[in-house]
Structure formats: C-alpha cells, structure tokens
Amino acid sequence: MESEAKMIDESGLRIDGRRVDELRPIRIEAGVLKRADGSAYVEWGKNKVLAAVYGPRECHPRHLQNPAKALVQCKYNMIAFSVTDRKRPGPDRRSVEISKIISEALEYVVFTENFPRTSIDVYIEILQANAGTRCAGLTAASVALADAGIPMKDMVPSVAVGKINDQVVLDLCKEEDNYGQADLPVAILPRTGEVLLMQMDGHMTIDEFNRAVEYGVGACEKIYALQKDALRRRYAIEEAEPIDEEPRRERAEMEG
C-alpha cells in the first residue's frame, strides 16, 4: 500500500462517484449451474464470481476424513484472464491463504457434525477481479451452500472496509485497494454479531477501526438481505413453473 493519490474529492465522493459508506452495486443469483449440488453467481462492482458446491460426499484424500464431522474444503481460484496482467494458472500463496480463511468461515456455519467422514467441496472461481474478491467469494459460496440444501446456522455476508486519504471507506475498489492506507475484509453475521473473518493490511487508529467495523456491520446486513433474496427468487421460480396437466387429464380419462 503506497500513499497517497487524491481519491476523495471536495464533495466527499470517491473515484467511482460513491460516498465513503456506499457499497458497489451487487447482484446475486442462486442455482446457476446444473451439475453442481449448489451454486451462485455474484457480480459486485466489476468483480464477477462463480461458486459451486459439491457434497457432502466421500472425503478425498481419505486421511483427512474426520469420524466426527464433515470437512469443508474451499478452493479459491483466479482464472487467467481475471486480472489485468495474465494470472499464472494454478495455486499460489495468496489463493491458498484465501481458500483457508473461507473454508474456516464456512466450517463455522455448516452443521458439519451431521455429516461425519464426508467432505463438502466449495469451488470459487474469480472470472473478473476488481478488489474484494475474497469477500465476494465468501458471499457467493455461502449462497451456494444454502442452494445445495446443506444445513447451516446462517449465510455469511462479507465486505472489505478500508482507509484512503485518511478517511474510512466501505468496499474498496481496485485503485483504492492498491493505493489506499488500509484494507480490512470482514464477515459479520447480522443475527448474532459473530465475526467469521477479519484480516487487516495497513494501519488505522482505534477510532478509525471502530468506524470501519460499524460500516462493515451495516454493509453485511445489506448483503445478507441480498443473499436471502437470491435464494427466495431461485425457489419462487421453481414454484411458479406451470404444472403440466395433460398427463393427469389423460390418465383420468382412461380410468373413466
């Protein structure tokens, strides 16, 4: 993080026109993949993220099996054309770290003790990246888990808060992430206030940190509402599908 290009103008607006406490536009869709047990697609500003869930299924590698509970194994991956410079395919330190923190956050909400010895596999593919992809990935993954019908305490909304030009700002975009002073991704459950993810890069005062957490809590509430809405839309469509009355009528006629 280098300082310090001017990224907030005199009227308090950021480079993409947002106020300091404003989220980028977020669109969530559940059940976008036919082959996966559960899936979700998230567009978050210029981020595009796909999450797919498989399982609970037999755990591989087998030595990781836990006789008491399921393992939640997340693989976060940025595809080659998701960033400005081509991303070299395959895992690297960053993707291993992000996979780990997302697995841990999800493991906390899934009732893993219901599925001993199994694995719940979560794949997150970043199709287009513009900062905050771990948060968009976690947000998508928990919708995909719910879409897979996996029993869980709650869905996990997540957002990054940060600091630019000595001001606390919500939901950093790429330029703000690159040239800002701090980046604080969080995941806070709205119903209980539990913190499932908190990382920090850069520096903040205690007051700034408290403000950042306040912004994070407010934003997680909004994202949570979008997650629930995505699931509601997904199942509303299924319910609304017209029932084919023809076979039933034919059968009734045949039976006289």
Sites of contact with ligand CDP (CB under 6 A): 83-84, 87, 94, 129-134, 160, 174, 177, 183
Minimum Å gap between C-beta 63 and ligand CDP is: 31
* Mode of pairing for the β-strands spanning 71-78 and 47-58: unpaired
Contacts of 107 (CB under 8 A, 6+ apart): 71, 72
Q: Between 194 and 201, whose beta carbon lies closer to ligand CDP?
A: 201
Q: Between 37 and 183, whose beta carbon lies closer to ligand CDP?
A: 183
Do 45 and 223 touch, CB atoms closer than 8 A?
Answer: no
Minimum Å gap between C-beta 66 and ligand CDP is: 28
Written as six digits, the tokens of 164 are 């630019």
Q: Between 87 and 228, whose beta carbon lies closer to ligand CDP?
A: 87
Q: Between 198 and 237, whose beta carbon lies closer to ligand CDP?
A: 198
CA dist 177 and 154 (Å) reads 29
Q: Between 118 and 130, whose beta carbon lies closer to ligand CDP?
A: 130
Do 77 and 123 touch, CB atoms closer than 8 A?
Answer: yes
Minimum Å gap between C-beta 33 and ligand CDP is: 22
Minimum Å gap between C-beta 98 and ligand CDP is: 7
Do 181 and 163 touch, CB atoms closer than 8 A?
Answer: yes
Minimum Å gap between C-beta 129 and ligand CDP is: 4
Contacts of 5 (CB under 8 A, 6+ apart): 175, 179
Task: Return the axis-axis angle of helices 93-109 and 133-147, rounded to nearest 10°.
Answer: 40
